[in-house]
Amino acid sequence: MLLHGHKHAIDAVLAVIARQQKGQVTVFTSGVDDLEKLFPDNVVVKKV
């Protein structure tokens, strides 16, 4: 289960960084469902 915790920690860091950017932001990830819940409308999440 250690990797599961790391996944959420990485998602959280990515969310903080993306939210600090100006304008339209695109984030590429394999965990689309988890990340979409963390972002405002100016952040688009795309599956890799």
Contact 17, 37 (CB under 8 A): no
Length of the chain: 48
Domain of 30, in residue numbers: 2-47
Task: Record the tokens describing residue 23, joined without a space.
Answer: 């304008």
Q: Could you give the number of structural domains in the chain?
A: 1
Can you give the pLDDT at residue 1?
A: 42
pLDDT in tens, the chain (48 residues): 445 667 778 888 888 898 899 999 998 888 788 788 888 889 999 998
**Range 31-35 contact pairs with CB under 8 angstroms and sequence separation of 24 or more:** 31/7, 34/8, 35/11
How many angstroms separate the Cα of 3 from the Cα of each of 6, 25, 31, 38, 45?
5, 27, 14, 20, 22
